[in-house]
Amino acid sequence: MSSIARVNFALPTRVYYEDTDAAGVVYYASYLKFLERARTEWLRALGFEQRRLVGECGIAFVVRSLAVEYLRPALLDDLLNVSSTIESVGRVQVVFSQNVLRESAQGAELLLTAKVRIACVDSAHMRAAAMPEDVFSTFRALNSNRTGNRA
């Protein structure tokens, strides 16, 4: 596992006009894009680019389910921090716990919490498939470090 591997990953992002509705409030579906980008960038930081996983390993990650709690609205020009943690991991799926916080001079304010279940699929047939061993062992180690358990 690379030295960049962290139990928690955070991606800063700014709210742009395209992310908002007519009132300047972040549209609910835009948060899903923020969550996806944070997971994707964490994979990249761990050395697992999704295009390579499809091309070399024949697998892809797809969202199987998600639960989102919208706590407070984000607004145009807000600076957000999208954090990700692995909650659980199996050979075919991983559950991420994700939060969106607004960063300001007064501190961080929690805006959204989410649980996102990701499934690993064979990219040719879109059927469940085991993760490559290096991806699985990295996720397992991150989850073990988070919980304090040994894998």
* CA pair distance 117, 47, nearest whole angstrom: 21
**pLDDT tens, 6-35?**
678 999 999 999 999 999 999 999 999 999
Q: Which CATH superfamily is domain 8-146 in?
A: Hotdog Thioesterase (3.10.129.10)
CA Rg, the chain, in Å? 16
- pTM score, whole prediction: 0.89
The structural domains of the chain, with segments of one domain joined by +, span: 8-146
> Which residues 6+ apart lie within 8 Å of 95 measured at CB?
86, 87, 88, 89, 115, 116, 117, 118
**pLDDT tens, 27-42?**
999 999 999 999 999 9
Confidence of residue 51 (pLDDT cuts 50, 70, 90): very high
pLDDT of residue 4: 41
- Residues catalogued as catalytic: 21
7: left (phi over 0), alpha (psi -120 to 50) or beta: alpha
pLDDT of residue 103: 87
